């Protein structure tokens, strides 16, 4: 499936995906980019009722956008649900958006379809799904 708690090569894959999107966002008209990577300003920690999470990336223009990057590998649905519900809620409160970055293919299936299914299952609205 997908992985958030990445280790070893999965962490390298996740960091590479974050870097790719961070470098692409200004070309797509986004500003105020923050990335959860060494050498970048980190996105602000978002405080939840049960748990706090830091988005993989954030942007401030043209509106606030929170991004969660999922790399290939095992995933905890509880962890993804906690992150996505918090980021979607924070986006709604700031009149912003919540975006997800997923691998183009996940277990032989279209990554966007998998992300949509997870979003429906955990009850969140995704503004855009970036498949890389």
- Residue-range domain boundaries for the chain: 2-131
The average pLDDT across 108-131 equals 96
The topology (CATH level 3) of 2-131 is: Trna Endonuclease; Chain: A, domain 1 (3.40.1350)
Kindly report the pTM of this predicted structure: 0.90
According to DSSP, the β-strands at 71-72 and 57-59 are: unpaired
pLDDT value of position 4: 42
pLDDT band at 3 (very low <50, low <70, confident <90, very high): very low
CA distance linking residue 11 with residue 16, whole number of Å: 8
Residue 113: closest CA among 97, 129, 99:
129
Give the CA distances from residue 97 to residues 44, 105, 116, in Å, rounded to whole numbers and listed in that order: 15, 24, 15
- The total of other beta-carbon atoms located within 10 Å of residue 74's CB is 12
């Amino acid at each position: 499936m997908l992985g958030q708690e990445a280790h070893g090569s999965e962490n390298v894959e996740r960091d590479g995906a974050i870097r790719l999107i961070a470098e692409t966002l200004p070309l797509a008209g986004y500003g105020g980019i923050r990335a959860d990577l060494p050498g970048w300003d980190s996105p602000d920690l978002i405080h939840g009722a049960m748990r706090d999470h830091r988005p993989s990336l954030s942007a401030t223009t043209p509106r606030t956008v929170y991004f969660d990057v999922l790399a290939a590998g095992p995933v905890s649905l509880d962890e993804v649900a906690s992150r996505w519900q918090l980021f979607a809620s924070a986006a709604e409160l700031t009149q912003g958006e919540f975006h997800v970055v997923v691998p183009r293919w996940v277990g032989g299936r279209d990554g966007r379809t998998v992300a949509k299914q997870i979003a429906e299952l955990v009850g969140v609205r995704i503004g855009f799904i970036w498949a890389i």
